[in-house]
Chain A
Amino acid sequence: MTKKQFTGAQMVVKALAALDVKYIFGYPGGTVLDIYDALFQQTEVEHILVRHEQAATHMADGFARATGEVGVVLATSGPGATNCITGIATAYMDSIPMVVLSGQVPSTLIGDDAFQETDIVGCSRPIVKHSFNCRVVEEIPNIIAKAFYIASTGRPGPVVIELPKDLLMPTSMGEFHIETDVKMRSYNPSIKGHHKQIKKAVKAIYEAKKLVVYAGGGIIIANASELLTELVEKLDAPITNTLMGLGGISGTHKNYIGMLGMHGSVEANKTMANADLILALGARFDDRVTNNVKKFCPDAKIIHVDIDPTSISKTINAHIPVVGLLDVVLQQLLDELTATDFKPNKEERANWWQEVNQWREINRVSYVQEGDQIKPQRVIEAMYKITQGEAYVCSDVGQHQMFAAQYYPFAKPRQWINSGGLGTMGFGLPAAMGVKLAFPESHVICITGDGSIQMNIQELSTCLQYNLPVVIISLNNRSLGMVRQWQDMVYGGRHSSSYMESLPDFVKLAESYGHVGMQINHLDELEDKLNEAFTIKNRLVFVDVLVDEKEHVYPMQIRLGAIDDMWIKKGVKA
């Protein structure tokens, strides 16, 4: 008896269903019409039609960040595929599990500059974890299974699969086999930290007088927040998070000293600068953290735990490298500390905390609400109050992003969703949509600016189609604020192309897309109106908040300085 035969397109959809995919984000076109036809004839996988393929990638990305599952994208060959590039790069920089299925012209035409042919595997090569070309129809399901495995294990990342049209059409049929338990001889994401390195790390912890924990996005990815909190409490050490790591420990935890880096808190950067031992967990000593690497924390010994060996000793040399999954290594560290009956030295810790608390008291993440114009920071504080710190906050890129990072203490991991590595304007709205799709009952905020929101504004239409009532809060400063800030500080105040003339009427714009538009112009109406925005259920609300366009983000590291060389306000150094 011959087994049932399927087209490649049917196999794609069957494979996705076998991998428990519920949503796929995409946009149709010639080379993938067979997949769309297959999607039409089933109910397991729901397709979300965006208005631009870049948004599909960010939506899948937001979905992945909030749920920890793989985000799946479908795009046609040529322009559909190239429109995905920014979203793939965004996911790559932040280690987000994503699988992008791209159409391709029929195999016989590849290389002929056929209509809508681009070498998407070639184009995306530097920004993917891996990619696949399909050549035989029966291979499709296992390639998809492998792509999911690669995307979601080890250090996660995007995987691109190119599907030539002839393999998808009824002209080539085959049997369907899928091996969801993937094994690959060339890829074994290492799991456990080497026990000798664990011992060394614990020894260094015993010897340290001034220990700081520096935790990044790896904690979030590894779902290791609880272990991190336990470790921090056991060590009684101050802890700082990177921009990607916010929520890795509660923003209101007593040991938490704020975000570090370019716009980090003075206390976080000072604590790092004065530490004798830095326990780096799933963070990568990015240039937006270290400032000048030559001046970076001269007295500190560094323990660096990461799943990706290339992240270790890349920019800053690690004295004790530990390669492994963070949740596993944290458990190993805890076990070793428990086995040796670790107790922090009371006196040494007290001295260290006294120092840290001095910097803490400066409380330099602060602003003054003066004049009639609303300060952007005030909006974030109000937002925090109204949502009781429990909203998903999906950010675009600019000053508003930094204000949100500084003024919304995140209680839990995966609550803060932003493009940290690539800094992609236009990320916020589609990411928020992906989150809302996953968590329809939660408050999902897109915090954005008048510049960023216009980079994927067309998705307001998608929100209407799929009923995705996110709350968009735009800190409208009539300018590309972050660019303007640099121009004020570094370029003699010459505002070259950093202002936004001819802004649309955002209220009417939201309304024309079928949503609720709201403008906030006065300080005294801020809380009431924001409150109202959050009480409107089942409608998307676009809140256009006119804020002070002159406000700068402080603190800010002084360029080329040490990690703790900072401006705390205009002309004042820490």
Chain B
Amino acid sequence: MRRILAVLLENEPGSLSRIVGLFSQRAFNIESLTVAPTEDQSLSRITIATRGDDKVLEQIVKQVNKLIDVIKITDLTERSHVERELLLIKVLAMNDKSRTEVKRITDIFRGSIVDIGKQVYTIELTGDAEKLNAFVNTLANETEIIESVRSGCVGIARGEKALRL
């Protein structure tokens, strides 16, 4: 099962490498991992998308928690939460027909064209992983994808529940 873990940790040199090292050392899967300092610069927040059964997930959570730098970890997928990922994608837009079609698809998915080249459009889209996948597949049917980059997902719990000190 796919899980999304949110981790609050000390913003110290080496703390990210400990998390990444732990996952490879214990043969845990990482689908995506994002990290950035929080509004309190002494803290970092990591979102990890991973896969595993309950037993594996229990070990992942405990092992991450055991790292000295880690303050808290929570499994967002246990409760209702908001999950977002950013996609930047550059596609071929050579003629009017393909330009119109790319624009139309982008609008339907509520994305936006952020840059235009002689023969290419660059599009930005946010959403959950499923929406991004659907968008990429639809585009691929219409035109050629030159390159794309995804941020990996970030997530936050709905309601009052929060991951803080």
Contact = CB atoms under 8 A, between A and B. Distances in A.
A185 interface: yes
B58 A131 contact: no
A504 interface: no
A125 interface: yes
Interface string B33-77: 000000000000000000000010011001101101111000000
A310 B66 contact: yes
A150 interface: yes
B58 to A, nearest CB: 7
Contacts of B59: 310, 314
Q: How many A residues touch the partner, as a band?
A: 10 to 19
A163 to B, nearest CB: 15
Given A185-B71, A310-B66, A314-B59, A133 B13 contact: yes
Given A185-B71, A309-B62, A131 B14 contact: yes
B55 A308 contact: no
Nearest to A133: B13
Contact of A133 (B14, B18, B55): B14
B71 A122 contact: no
Nearest to B72: A186
A129 B68 contact: yes
Contact of A309 (B10, B13, B18, B66): B66
Contact of B68 (A133, A186, A313): A186
B62 A186 contact: no
Interface residues of B, number: 20
B9 interface: yes
A306 B103 CA distance: 59
Contacts of A507: none
Contacts of B70: 186
Contacts of B21: 125-126
A135 B66 CA distance: 25
Contacts of A122: 17
Given A185-B71, A185-B165, A125 B18 contact: yes
A54 B65 CA distance: 30
Contacts of A121: 14
B119 interface: no
B25 interface: yes
A118 B22 CA distance: 21
Contacts of A150: 68
Nearest to B71: A186
A115 interface: no
B62 A310 contact: yes
Nearest to B24: A126
A165 B145 CA distance: 51
Interface of A: 121-122, 125-126, 129-131, 133, 135, 150, 184-187, 308-310, 313-314
Given A130-B68, A186-B68, 20 more contacts: A121-B14, A122-B17, A125-B14, A125-B17, A125-B18, A125-B21, A131-B14, A135-B13, A150-B68, A184-B68, A185-B71, A185-B165, A186-B9, A186-B10, A187-B68, A309-B62, A309-B65, A309-B66, A310-B59, A313-B58
Q: Which 10 A-B pairs have the closest CB atoms?
A: A130-B68, A310-B62, A186-B71, A309-B62, A126-B25, A187-B68, A125-B21, A310-B63, A186-B10, A310-B66
Interface of B: 9-10, 13-14, 17-18, 21, 25, 55, 58-59, 62-63, 65-66, 68-71, 165
